[in-house]
Structure 1
Amino acid sequence: MDMPDTRLFHLHYHVPDVEYAEQVLADNGLPLRARFGSVDGETVAVEPGEEPPEGFRLRLQDAQRGYANVTFTRGKHVQFDHLGIVTSAFDVIIERAKKADWTVQGVDGPRTFLIPPWGFRIEVHPEDGRIATTLGSWEESRFENVVLTVPSPSEVEDGLQSVLGHISGVSIRKGESQPHVPKATLGGQAFPGGLTIRASTLAADSASETPEEAK
Structure 2
Amino acid sequence: MTPWQFRVELHSETGDVVRELGDSGEAHLEDVSLQVPDANAAREAFNEIFHPLSELNIDDGENPWVESFSVAAQQGSEQMNVGALLGN
TM-score range (shorter-chain normalised) is 0.7 to 0.9
Distance 1:141 1:120 in 2: 23
Residue 203 (structure 1) aligns with: 86
1:180/1:201 Cα in 2 relative to 1: closer, same or farther (>3 Å)? same
Asked if 1:164 is matched to 2:59, the reply is no
Listed as ranges, the gaps of 5+ residues in structure 2 are none
Q: Which of 47, 50, 66 is the aligned partner of 1:181?
A: 66
Q: Which of 137, 142, 160 is the aligned partner of 2:23?
A: 137
For 1:124-151, what per-residue CA distance to the aligned partner results, in whole angstroms no more than 9, with x for missing partners? 1111111111112322221121000111
Listed as ranges, the gaps of 5+ residues in structure 1 are 1-114, 207-215
Higher strand proportion (structure 1 or 2): 1
Number of corresponding residues: 88
Please report how far the alpha carbon of residue 164 of structure 1 lies from its aligned counterpart in structure 2 after TM superposition: 2.3
1:127/1:166 Cα in 2 relative to 1: closer, same or farther (>3 Å)? farther
Runs of 4+ in 1 over 3 A off after TM superposition: none
Please report how far the alpha carbon of residue 168 of structure 1 lies from its aligned counterpart in structure 2 after TM superposition: 4.9
Identity %: 26
Taking CA–CA contacts closer than 8 Å with sequence separation of 6 or more, which of the two structures ends up with the larger relative contact order?
2
Is the contact made by 1:125 and 1:132 (CA closer than 8 Å) also made in structure 2? yes
Look up the equivalent residue of 2:81 and give its one-letter code: R
TM-score if structure 2 supplies the norm length? 0.85
RMSD: 1.6
Is the contact made by 1:119 and 1:178 (CA closer than 8 Å) also made in structure 2? no
Bigger Cα Rg: 1
Distance 1:127 1:166 in 2: 19
Is the contact made by 1:184 and 1:197 (CA closer than 8 Å) also made in structure 2? yes
Asked if 1:149 is matched to 2:35, the reply is yes
Distance 2:54 2:73 in 1: 14
Distance 2:35 2:56 in 1: 10
